[in-house]
DNA sequence: TTGGTAATGAGGTACGTACCTCATAGCAAG
DNA sequence: CTTGCTATGAGGTACGTACCTCATTACCAA
């Protein structure tokens, strides 16, 4: 049998009330009593039963995911994973909801964050580019006792605050390695397509990509990044231009999470050519493209894992617990047709 | 507030006792009463609070992992993940322990399984090759109310019983795809090294590997599998022989989970040559080899994910719940230097 | 000595569920 | 009508922890 608070009280020679005061950091206990109880906890291996505690304080976990307001397939995937997690954790009194934001408007995001309070929310996972406004708003939430988490993007500095997402430099480097090794040592130019290069995520991916290509694959030449700004006609036009002025393109790396529009254009143009194409994120579109050999590899992060990891971290923070770091590292996954 | 059993009783117009009888499948309730309560559960969206239930029946989950008795680095990794999970789930009253078996002795395994009973164990995850003895022993455990799970290997038929592990055919095919694409279209022979080809896992990996190579990479020639039987000198000898009689080997696929011994030999021989080498499982050895470019890619399954998935499945089974299938699929991961 | 305050104990109720005992209502067979 | 049975209700205790109130003790300063 695992020791309970009662056992702990007996072992420490104090009353249940004192044990309770120590466990919950209440006032009115002498310092050496606290120390003694703490030592007894170690000694008898007392482990708090969080389920029972949550039951007693009728606590439930209410988490909020702040996501961009686009129609992106990757986002839909995230949203359905959140719904799924809601079911999976339902018997543990956890409820996650989604709110949409304009990711490019830090002011609006900060405003929204300002309206949140402990009565309604225990933790917020925010998917938005870094900005001073949002950073401050997060700090203020933390002060009010609401846990915050940078989700997928928006990590200001590694190690600063909680972050759930992949290392984008590593993701780009992985794409670069595959591009190089899939190139059959044939000279050619490599086109990089991004939604915007103003986001840190994109920059890091490009950096990692270039590093590997430059170091190990001298027969490949990098072209400047094309920026689509998420506009279909623009995307179509700039890609066609790029192909017109560079007949020797041999590889394409789409580093934004929405690969659909650029790839549709590319497919039109280069039906005949042998291009190596690498994109990001698994969506119904990219999955089909991989299966039909229109693209060669995907660099992904598992949406379900992202969501569950965010929830576990927020829950642990909300309990004042530590988390298993090894479990929470989001892997840069490589998907080929064979391991879909 | 989530409805409780009390709310359910009121809503269904029955007493708490009857609700309890229905929820726990006890006798003494008229069929239409059961039906009415069940409908009310749906109607008001009642969700059982498993934490409270476990508290009330002072239930804890005791799981056992049956692992082979080798000194394999992959196994050590698994064992430390189990220890880690023990800490992580401690506050939820879960305890996982490890027992070692001789994986090649089905009779002994079956005997051991026969000694288990509900008083001490709620679920067993078994990592052992399929065999009629073990299969029967598992069936008898299930009859006694102990959950069983095929862990990593030993799945008799897909869909038959719970299984946690990767699709080995897909893993082999993934290795094949990488071997083909990394080969720069240069003709050569491919060596496949296994511990034994008598295990279904090995067969499936080889099958998947061959399929892809044969279909898409005609310039590569497959050699028959070398079997090491886990013996160091034998391994050394047969690999040297293979290189002596096939000077044009250009690729090596080590499909067993212990790549250390074969790779040490290969490194000795082929320091100078440009070989494409693909192995399985991430261990301190393979990780170092990947970083130092002695091997080109790893096909892995995440040990932490394997362990946690097994625990979640056994716990759900023990609760009579469903699990989130999407969460429990173990991915065939590809590891390069860049996404370690 | 007295008063004040900080530290501690004793004992209760609550959370949502399981499980137990006992009482009672309904119904059918004798 | 009685007997016997099944279905149901009423009420309790327990699980491990939180949180509340009130009483008691110890200690310090005046």
Q: What is the DSSP letter of B224?
A: P
Instruction: Note the pLDDT tens digit of each residue in B257-270.
Output: 888 889 888 888 86
Q: What is the pLDDT of residue B173?
A: 98
Average pLDDT over residues B326-337: 90
Contact A103, A69 (CB under 8 A): yes
In this structure, the number of other CB atoms found within 10 A of the CB of residue A292 comes to 10
Give the closest-approach CA distance of A139 to chain B in angstroms. 28
Query: What is the pLDDT confidence band of residue B71, given thresholds at 50, 70 and 90?
Result: confident
Instruction: Note the pLDDT tens digit of each residue in A215-261.
Output: 999 999 999 999 999 888 999 999 999 999 998 999 999 998 888 88
Q: What is the DSSP letter of B46?
A: -
Residue with more model confidence, A141 or A325: A141
Query: What is the pLDDT confidence band of residue A323, given thresholds at 50, 70 and 90?
Result: confident
Spell out which residues of chain B touch residue A302, defining contact as CB-CB under 8 Å. 331
Give the closest-approach CA distance of B232 to chain A in angstroms. 32
- Give the whole-number percent of chain B exceeding pLDDT 70: 96
Asked whether the predicted pLDDT for residue B282 surpasses 90, the reply is yes
Q: How far is the CA of A15 from the C1' of D28 (A)?
A: 24
CB pair distance less than 8 Å for A324 and B181: no
Q: What is the pLDDT of residue A207?
A: 97
C1' of nucleotide C13: residue with nearest CA: A56
Asked whether the predicted pLDDT for residue B18 surpasses 70, the reply is yes
Give the closest-approach CA distance of A132 to chain B in angstroms. 30
CB pairs under 8 A between A and B: 116
Q: What is the pLDDT of residue A123?
A: 95
Q: What is the pLDDT of residue B161?
A: 82
Asked whether the predicted pLDDT for residue A299 surpasses 60, the reply is yes
Give the closest-approach CA distance of B212 to chain A in angstroms. 9
Spell out which residues of chain B touch residue A54, defining contact as CB-CB under 8 Å. 51
The CA-based dihedral angle spanning residues B101, B107, B112, B114, taken in that order and rounded to the nearest 10 degrees: 150
Phi, psi of A162 (to 5 degrees): -75, 145
A218 touches strand C (CB under 7 A): no
| 3-state secondary structure (DSSP) of residue A94 | strand
Q: List residues bridging with B150 in a β-sheet.
A: B126, B163
Q: What is the pLDDT of residue A273?
A: 65
Nearest CA in chain A to B48: A91
Suggest the residue from A212, A297, A306, A338 to mutate for an interface test with chain B (most B CBs closer than 10 A). A338
The CA angle B299-A81-A264, to the nearest 5 degrees, is 70
- Give the whole-number percent of chain B exceeding pLDDT 90: 73
DSSP H helices, chain B, are 5-12, 16-23, 31-44, 50-56, 73-88, 106-114, 132-143, 168-181, 200-216, 232-245, 260-269, 284-291, 303-319, 325-328
Asked whether the predicted pLDDT for residue A92 surpasses 90, the reply is no
Asked whether the predicted pLDDT for residue A272 surpasses 60, the reply is no
Closest CB to B91: pick one of A47, A302, A308. A47
Q: List residues bridging with A188 in a β-sheet.
A: A220
Q: What is the pLDDT of residue B19?
A: 95
Q: In what order do the strands lie in the sheet with B123-126?
A: B94-101, B61-68, B123-126, B147-151, B163-164
B118 touches strand C (CB under 7 A): no
CB pair distance less than 8 Å for B336 and A54: no
**What's this model's pTM, rounded to 2 decimal places?**
0.91
Q: What is the pLDDT of residue A96?
A: 95
Q: What is the pLDDT of residue B89?
A: 85
Token digits for B266?
A: 């290969």
Spell out which residues of chain B touch residue A293, defining contact as CB-CB under 8 Å. none
Residue with more model confidence, B51 or A326: B51
Average pLDDT over residues B298-315: 94
Average pLDDT over residues B224-253: 92
C1' of nucleotide C16: residue with nearest CA: B52
Query: What is the pLDDT confidence band of residue B271, given thresholds at 50, 70 and 90?
Result: low
Extended beta strands in A46-93, E state = 61-68
């Amino acid at each position: 049998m695992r020791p309970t608070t009662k056992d702990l009280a007996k072992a420490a020679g104090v009353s249940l009330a004192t044990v309770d005061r120590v466990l919950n950091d209440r006032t009115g206990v002498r310092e050496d009593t606290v120390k003694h109880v703490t030592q007894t906890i170690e000694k008898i291996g007392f482990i708090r039963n969080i389920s029972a505690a949550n039951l007693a304080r009728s606590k439930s976990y209410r988490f909020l995911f702040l996501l961009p307001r686009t129609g992106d397939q990757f986002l839909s995937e995230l949203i359905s994973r959140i719904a799924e997690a809601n079911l999976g954790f339902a018997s543990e009194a956890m409820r996650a909801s989604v709110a949409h934001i304009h990711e490019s408007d830090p002011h609006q995001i900060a405003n929204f964050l300002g309206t949140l309070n402990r009565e309604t929310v225990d933790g917020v996972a925010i998917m938005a580019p870094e900005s001073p406004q949002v950073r401050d708003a997060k700090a203020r939430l933390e002060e009010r006792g609401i846990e915050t988490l940078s989700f997928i993007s928006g990590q200001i500095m590694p190690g600063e605050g909680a972050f759930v997402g992949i290392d984008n430099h590593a993701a780009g480097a992985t794409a670069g390695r595959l591009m190089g090794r899939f190139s059959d040592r044939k000279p050619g130019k490599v086109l990089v397509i991004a939604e915007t290069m103003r986001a840190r995520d994109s920059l890091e991916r490009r950096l990692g990509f270039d590093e590997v290509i430059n170091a190990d694959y001298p027969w490949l030449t990098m072209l400047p990044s094309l920026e689509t700004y998420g506009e279909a006609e623009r995307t179509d036009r700039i890609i066609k231009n790029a192909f017109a002025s560079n007949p020797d393109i041999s590889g394409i790396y789409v580093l934004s999470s929405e690969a659909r529009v650029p790839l549709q254009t590319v497919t039109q143009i280069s039906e005949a050519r042998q291009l190596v194409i690498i994109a990001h994120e698994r969506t119904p579109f990219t999955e089909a493209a991989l299966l039909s050999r229109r693209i060669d590899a995907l660099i992904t992060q598992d949406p379900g894992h992202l969501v569950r990891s965010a929830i576990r971290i927020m829950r642990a923070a909300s309990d004042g617990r530590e988390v298993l770091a090894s479990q929470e590292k989001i892997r840069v996954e490589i998907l080929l047709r064979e391991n879909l």
